[in-house]
Amino acid sequence: MAINKDMKVLVVDDMATMRKIIRNMLTQEGFKSVEDADDGESAWPLLEDASKEGTPFDFIISDWNMPKMSGITLLQKIRQHETIKDTPFLMVTAESEQGNVVTAVKAGVSNFIVKPFSSAVLMEKIEKIFDK
């Protein structure tokens, strides 16, 4: 199944360089609507506003370790929100610790990607999420 490159994507990472890298990978793969936020706390109002406006994000890529609000806290908050709880969520992490994987799976993560990663690996993870 082809991925809808017109979907609205939110990239959340506290490192501006990482946000830019992921954004560039997505745009090079043909994604047209990519926005970003520097942590879960700044991402949350974007998610809520988009939902209220009837133009919710279709996909979220978020780092795990961030100040203010971590990726796992953002995921948990999203999964408890009635209108955006089913939004596919790709967790980016520098750690492949088993405990973290279990925590994220219990919280409802769609898939994982471990830093560093290539554009091909990113697309493979996205395809697995949307082929379900």
Q: Does residue 104 form part of some domain?
A: yes
| Backbone φ and ψ of 106, nearest 5° | -65, -30
Instruction: Determine the pLDDT at residue 68.
Output: 93
Model pTM? Answer: 0.95
Instruction: Determine the pLDDT at residue 95.
Output: 72
- 3-class DSSP state for residue 6? coil
Query: How far apart, in whole angstroms, are the C-alpha atoms of residue 125 and residue 120?
Result: 9
The confidence band for 69, taking pLDDT boundaries of 50, 70 and 90, is: very high
Residue 1 predicted with pLDDT over 60: no
Query: What value does the CA radius of gyration of the chain take, rounded to a whole number of Å?
Result: 13
60 contact partners, CB below 8 Å, separation of at least 6? 9, 10, 12, 43, 47, 74, 78, 87, 88, 89, 90
What ranges make up the beta strands (E) of the chain? Answer: 8-12, 33-37, 59-63, 89-93, 111-114
Q: Between 96 and 85, name the one with better pLDDT.
A: 85
Q: Does residue 84 form part of some domain?
A: yes
Q: Does residue 2 form part of some domain?
A: no
Q: Does residue 41 form part of some domain?
A: yes
Q: Does residue 77 form part of some domain?
A: yes
Q: Does residue 1 form part of some domain?
A: no
Lowest mean pLDDT among 42-51, 64-73, 92-101: 92-101
The confidence band for 122, taking pLDDT boundaries of 50, 70 and 90, is: very high
The confidence band for 102, taking pLDDT boundaries of 50, 70 and 90, is: confident
Q: How many domains does the chain have?
A: 1
Q: Which CATH number characterizes residue 66's domain?
A: 3.40.50.2300
Q: Does residue 79 form part of some domain?
A: yes
Q: Does residue 16 form part of some domain?
A: yes
Q: What is the mean pLDDT of residues 63-87?
A: 96
| Chain segment 16-66, per-residue pLDDT in tens | 999 999 999 999 999 999 999 999 999 999 999 999 999 999 999 999 999
Range of the domain at 58: 8-130
What b/e readout covers 12-38, taking b as 16+ CB neighbours within 10 angstroms?
bbbeeebbebbbebbeeeebebbebbb
